[in-house]
Structure 1
Amino acid sequence: MGEIIQEEKSKGGKKRPKHHSTHIDMTPMVDLMCLLITFFMLTTAFSKSKVMEIVLPEKIKKNDKVEPPKIAESRTINIILGPENKVFWYPGRVKDSKNPPALQETDYSDEGIRKILLDRNKLLSKKVAAFKEQTTKENPAITRDSLLANIKRFKKADDSGPIVLIKAYKEARYANIVDIIDEMEICSIVRYALVDINYVEDEMVKTAMARSTSNPKQ
C-alpha cells in the first residue's frame, strides 16, 4: 500500500498536507490468471503421452500342463526381428527341423513388412469396410465411438485374418519391437503375439544373415 502526500492551502495561508491512499487494480490480473489456467489445462489435455497397450498372457507355472492354442497354419505368418534393423518372415510353420524353409528378408518401410501385412489382411479389410458401410446405413445417427466398438467386436469374431507371431532374435533392438507393434496397429492386424524364438529359427536367422552378407542389395 502506498501513500501520496499533497499539500493544500488552508484559510490562514498555511499549506496543509493532504493524504491520498493508493491501491493496485487487480482486475486485469484476475483475467490473466484465468487465461493461464485455461491454457495450462488445455496444454495438459493435448500433451498426454501415448501409451501402447499390450495384453500379455498369464505366466504359466512349471507344474501346470497347458496345451498351446491351435493355430491355423494357412493364416500364420512368423515375423523374426533380426540384427541391423532387418526383418525376416516365413509363412506357416517349420515342418522339418532338418530342412527348414528359407527366411524372406524385408524392412520396416511402406513397401516392406507393411505391404506384406496389408496383402495378408486384404480379406478382413474388405469385410470390415462392408460391415462399416452396412452399420452406418442402418443407423446413420451412430456415434463414432459406438461404430469403432462394433468394428472391434466384428474383428474379434472374424476367422479369416492373419495370425502374426512376432519373434525377436538375440541381437534385435527394443525399438524394432515398438516398430513392429506399430505396424500391427497400422495394418489393423487383430491377432498377433510375442513369442520366444526357438533353436531352429535361430539357425534360420544365421543362415539368412550369411546369405545377406554374401549377396548384399545394390
Structure 2
Amino acid sequence: MTPVLALERVSCTFLSRDDPSERYTAVSDTTLVIGEGEFVSVVGPTGCGKTTLLNVAAGLLKPSTGTVRLEFRGMAREEAFARGEEWLARVGLAGFGKRYPHQLSGGMRKRVALAQMFILNPQILLMDEPFSALDIQTRQLMENGLLELWSVDRKSVVFITHDLEEAISLADRVVVLSAGPASHPIGDYAIDLPRPRDVADIRLAPRFIEIHAKIWRAMKEEVLKGYVQQQRQ
C-alpha cells in the first residue's frame, strides 16, 4: 500500500508554560504511516498529544525531531468552483453556495465543512474531533454522511477522536496513544468490520463489541493516568 502520509520517529518538545526553564515533551518517538485510501482513527486520553500530531501532519507545527512526508497539490479556480457546486449538492445543500455562515443552521455548517474538504480534492483528510460538539443523534447522522462521502473516492483520512466507539465505527485502523507526557503509540488495531457501515447498527454487532473490549483493555490504564494528570494541573 502506497503511503500518503508518513511520520517517522517524530518528537515534539515545548517550553513549559509554568516554568520557561523547563521543557515538556508532548509526543515522543512516534511513527505513523497512512496508506492510500486508509481511514485511520487516532484515540487516546485527554492531553495525550493527538492534536499535536495532527498539526505536525498538516505542516502547522515543525517536529523537534523526526521527519514528515506529505504530498499537496493545487487546484485551478474554475475547477474548485465546479467541485464546490457538485459537493454542496452531494451533502444536500444545492443552491446554498451564496449563503453566509450565519444564514445556516449548525448542522448545515457541519455539512458545508465536510463538503469543503472534498472540494479541495486532497490526497488525505486531517480531521480533529469534528463532531464532538454535536448531540448523539446529529453526530451519528454526520458520521454516516462522512462515510458516504468518503466511499465515493476513498481519500486517506486521519480522524482524531476521544470516543472509542466513534473511532471503531468509522475506521479501517485504530491507533491508540499513551497518556502524556511523551505520548507515543501503544497499539495499532485493524478493524475488520464490513463496509458499507451504518455507525449505529455496526455498534450492535458482536465483532464490534469484541474489538471495543480489546482496545479498551489497552486504553483503560492510559485513560486513568491521563485523568490523574489532569487533576494535578
- The TM-score, its normalising length taken from structure 2, stands at 0.23
- Which structure ranks higher in relative contact order (CA pairs < 8 Å, sequence separation ≥ 6)? 2
Question: Max radius of gyration: which structure?
Answer: 1
TM-score scaled to structure 1, two decimals? Answer: 0.24
